Amino acid sequence: MIIQTYPDQESLSRAAAELFARQAEEAVKLRSAFSVALAGGQTPRRTYEILAQPPFREQVDWEHLHVFWGDERCVPPQDPRSNARMARRAWLNHVPLPPSRIHPISCKPNPVAGAREYEILLRKFCAGTPPCLDLVFLGLGEDGHTASLFPYHRASEDREHWTAAVYVPAQSLHRVTLTPAFLNQARVVAFLVAGAAKAKALQEVLQGPRNTRRLPAQLINPERGELYWLVDREAAGQLR
């Protein structure tokens, strides 16, 4: 596990963009393809905006990129809460990425069927032995969740399926998420964590007792890959 601390969210976001560019260059050189799963939220948004601008816009070999998502809210595509909408508006609409290589999560005809269809897509894409995706971006919630793996939800404990449908009562919202069984097959996983509001959760996940049911982010540890925590100074404020 590699923990890197940055003065502010802007420098963190640029470091995440640089990590993306490095991994993309290496993957295309070795395997002629690069695959990434994206996170939602405010911290990744700035990274996506940076990737849509020079010099990254010119550096990345977009034609060899496949884009997936770590989770999605079951809302219409144009809903501001949609993770796919955010990534498209901040980044994907501004680079020469073939539409056929963008793979958003669908909740149609229902969340359970949407999760099943996304798993079929992933298993077809990842045919062979792991690792599968080259890079996964994840965020961290104040309650210790990541993607849509929430505390005490059975999706976090699923060792068989790569995707799961999740209902969040506090939000009256269905979601579809990748599970640890799939996320831990990635070559690189990078958590992006910014802001003082995340400091307590970050300290508990990284340095507190292991309690994966309460802190699902503790479940993420790539079996054959690398784990990065890119955090800003405020988020790192409670780390020992």
pLDDT, position 41: 86
The answer to whether residue 42 scores a pLDDT higher than 90 is no
DSSP string, 177-221: EE-HHHHTT-SEEEEEE-SGGGHHHHHHHHHS---TTT-GGGG--
Residue 172: CB atoms within 10 A of its CB come to: 7
The answer to whether residue 30 scores a pLDDT higher than 90 is yes
Domain that holds residue 115: 2-238
pLDDT averaged over every residue in the chain: 96
Count structural domains, the chain.
Answer: 1
Take residue 30 and report the two structure tokens written for it: 């070795």
For residue 18, what is the domain's CATH number? Answer: 3.40.50.1360
The residue written with tokens 């996304």 in the block is 118
Could you tell me the pLDDT band of residue 129, with boundaries at 50, 70 and 90? confident
Q: List pLDDT tens digits, range 45-60.
A: 999 999 999 999 999 9
The answer to whether residue 206 scores a pLDDT higher than 90 is yes
Q: Tell me the mean pLDDT in the region 28-35.
A: 96
Global pTM reads 0.96
Which residues, at least 6 apart from 149, have a Cβ–Cβ distance to it below 8 Å? 155, 156, 166, 177, 179, 180, 216, 217, 219
